[in-house]
Amino acid sequence: MANAFEHPIYVTRPLLPNIEAVTERMKTVWDSQQLTNFGAQHDELSKKLKAYLEVDHISMFSNGTLALLLGLKALELTGEVITTPFTFPATVQALDWNNLTPVFCDIDPVTFNIDAEKIEALITEKTTAILGVHVFGNPCDVEKIQAIADKYHLKVIYDGAHAFGAKVNGVPISGFGDMTMFSFHATKLFNTVEGGALTYHDAALDKRLGLLRNFGIVNAEEVALSGLNAKMNEVQASVGLEVLKVVEEERNKRHKIKRTYEENLASVEGIRVLTTLENESSSYQYFVIEIDQEKFGQSRDFVHEELQKSNVFARKYFSPLCSDFTWYSGLASAQPENLPQAQKAVRKVLAMPYYGALTIESVAEICAIIEDIHIKEKNLFHLVEMRELG
């Protein structure tokens, strides 16, 4: 019988670098007396992220939401953008703030990404782009999506908040589409406390994004366009530079944790692991399972509640669907009957605790709690069945 944990175990924990190293770097910032506006720390991190992500162009921002919002603005999109309902609210909120109408496409039942086979049927004369999300770090069908975009002359933007450092057949995730957004929020594998970035192929976007994230200011006497204050500051960049040094170590730890989860849950009927990718193909951002109520014997919500009783705080990620937001109720694409796979997925998914500081013993104990729930329900089912036969 599994035991409850004495202290809470949460779904994630921020990757914190060596505090002495951060302090030393902060002294450099203090000595420079420049806390923001593209200082030395910002420029150094930008250079190192270019190398790590293997990109030619990158712009960094104070958070991922503003990065995506201004990235969409920089591409000068209008009308409708085809996207997924199964994502964090920020994805579609960035569309809202650009006066773009989301057209929700159902998801693939295996990867839970936007279903590339269903995109083409949603394209109208108002469609200007496809906004895909690499959900839980699983890459979208990038080749199929690009083929559709080329056919209809559409832009392709990827929300890569979960996909930092991942590759598809050896190609960095940022190598696909016109633009990729990365989140550097504290919950992400790589973080700058808060922060984000855009990677892209068009050098012309360097100047436009530089203006958009800094009020549209060209110089002391000229403002070229209406922008925002979305700059990454020197404190954020300083933390990021030290975090980047320990990312590979964290990936290795998460790899072992992932294997422990998989080995312990392999024999539990009704549990499917969604995040199966490894090594360079994986971002090691989340470990996510799908719970089949019929086979497992209980619902995802029941398992979620039982884990909480044992001081384990998994997350129903993503719930609710973005298409269920009240302000989309008038959209035909948001109607539940048009999104059957997404409606199923949102009731089955559970993101498990997953971070390098989580011990292997704790992971095994979490799995034992899940197995106990399954066995209890299985025994109860057989008891009811015997009584009915008797």
pLDDT band at 4 (very low <50, low <70, confident <90, very high): confident
User: What is the rounded distance in angstroms from the CA atom of residue 54 to the CA atom of residue 353?
Assistant: 30
Instruction: Determine the average pLDDT of the residues in 309-330.
Output: 96
3-state secondary structure of 81: strand
CA-based diameter of the chain, in Å? 89
Judge whether residue 215 has pLDDT over 90. Answer: yes
Beta strands, E only, 134-190: 155-159, 167-168, 171-172, 179-183
The predicted structure's pLDDT at residue 346? 98
Give 333-387 as a DSSP string. Answer: GGSGGG-HHHHHHTTTEEEEP--TTS-HHHHHHHHHHHHHHHHHHHHHHHHHHHH
| C-alpha closest to that of 322 among 339, 304, 301, 305 | 339
Beta strands, E only, 105-161: 127-133, 155-159
| C-alpha closest to that of 65 among 159, 156, 134, 136 | 159
The predicted structure's pLDDT at residue 382? 45
Judge whether residue 161 has pLDDT over 80. Answer: yes
φ, ψ of residue 9 in degrees (nearest 5): -115, 115
Mean model confidence pLDDT for the chain: 95
The predicted structure's pLDDT at residue 268? 97
Structural domains of the chain, with CATH: 19-242 (3.40.640.10), 247-389 (3.90.1150.10)
The predicted structure's pLDDT at residue 60? 98
Judge whether residue 389 has pLDDT over 60. Answer: no
Judge whether residue 3 has pLDDT over 90. Answer: no
The predicted structure's pLDDT at residue 378? 59
Percent of the residues in the chain that have a pLDDT greater than 70, as a whole number: 96
- pLDDT tens digit sequence for 217-272: 999 999 999 999 999 999 999 999 999 999 999 999 999 999 999 999 999 999 99
User: Is the CB of residue 280 less than 8 Å from the CB of residue 267?
Assistant: no
Judge whether residue 117 has pLDDT over 90. Answer: yes
User: What is the rounded distance in angstroms from the CA atom of residue 100 to the CA atom of residue 331?
Assistant: 13
Of 61-65, 335-339, 376-380, give the lowest mean pLDDT range. Answer: 376-380
| C-alpha closest to that of 200 among 51, 49, 50, 56 | 56
User: What is the rounded distance in angstroms from the CA atom of residue 295 to the CA atom of residue 298?
Assistant: 8
pLDDT band at 375 (very low <50, low <70, confident <90, very high): confident
pLDDT band at 385 (very low <50, low <70, confident <90, very high): very low
Q: 390 versus 18: which is more confidently predicted?
A: 18
CB atoms within 10 A of CB 5: 16
φ, ψ of residue 167 in degrees (nearest 5): -130, 155
Instruction: Determine the average pLDDT of the residues in 146-157.
Output: 98
Residues recognised as catalytic: 188
CB atoms within 10 A of CB 99: 9
Q: What is the CB-side half-sphere exposure of residue 181 using CA atoms within 13 A?
A: 30
3-state secondary structure of 218: strand
Judge whether residue 386 has pLDDT over 90. Answer: no
Judge whether residue 363 has pLDDT over 90. Answer: yes
Judge whether residue 383 has pLDDT over 50. Answer: no
3-state secondary structure of 130: strand
